[in-house]
Amino acid sequence: MPIGFRVKNSMKRIDASYVEAFRVLPVANVSDSMSRLVAGGDRLRPMHSGGVLAGPALTVKTCPGDNLMLHKAIDMAAPGDVIVVDAGGDTTNALMGELMLAHAVKRGVAGFVLNGAIRDAEAIRAQPLPLYALGVTHRGPYRTGPGEIGFQISIAGMVINPGDLMLGDIDGIVCVPKADAEAVLKATRAKQDAEAKQMAATLSGTMDRSWVDRELERLGCALVD
């Protein structure tokens, strides 16, 4: 099997129950529950009109500015898949535009994460299918390969395996590994509950802020009159 030019036709997807459970949770709280070490980088921004990204990752690795394997990924995606493309972070040429997006919508793709650029930005911003990318350029892609589908990729140090859970909101993107989903879900829900209590105390004026001065004292900060 040639390394760098291959397609894996099957993958084990995260259970759909986790997709729905995480869909209602803020990416920031999921990230905090993973020790703030997992992120797709601050350059990946939502290009769509609004809405949450959630679904199993169909991973693609391609040469910068080449979308041959992205075309194949759209053709083979199962409904609900999130197509995640590592294109080296290059934004010289767009990976996709309005026509490919329309095909993906017809196929039931749940969204895209593109470590690269798009074009037809006005049309993409007008529709709700979640799509995250690094930037916009009018220059079109090439279709010569090579590339891979269905193998491990990495974006900004965030490792993504096929079938892992991809989540995205206006704050950005995070990947939850299949094997860690239950632990991360439990921790995120606990954080949600704690933040709800904190917000209630803040709004009622009963929030205890004495920890700030205690921390400054512990760190040796001088409070000067």
User: Residues annotated as binding site for Mg(2+)?
Assistant: 120
Whole-angstrom Cα distance, residue 56 to residue 211? 40
Whole-angstrom Cα distance, residue 122 to residue 66? 22
> Following DSSP, what letter does each residue of 59-73 receive, concatenated?
EEEE-TTB-HHHHHH
**3-state secondary structure at position 107:** helix
> Following DSSP, what letter does each residue of 188-219 receive, concatenated?
HHHHHHHHHHHHHHHHHT----HHHHHHHHHT
- Joined tokens for residue 71: 């075309």
Binding-site residue ranges for substrate: 97-100, 119
Whole-angstrom Cα distance, residue 102 to residue 123? 10
Binding-site residue ranges: 97-100, 119-120
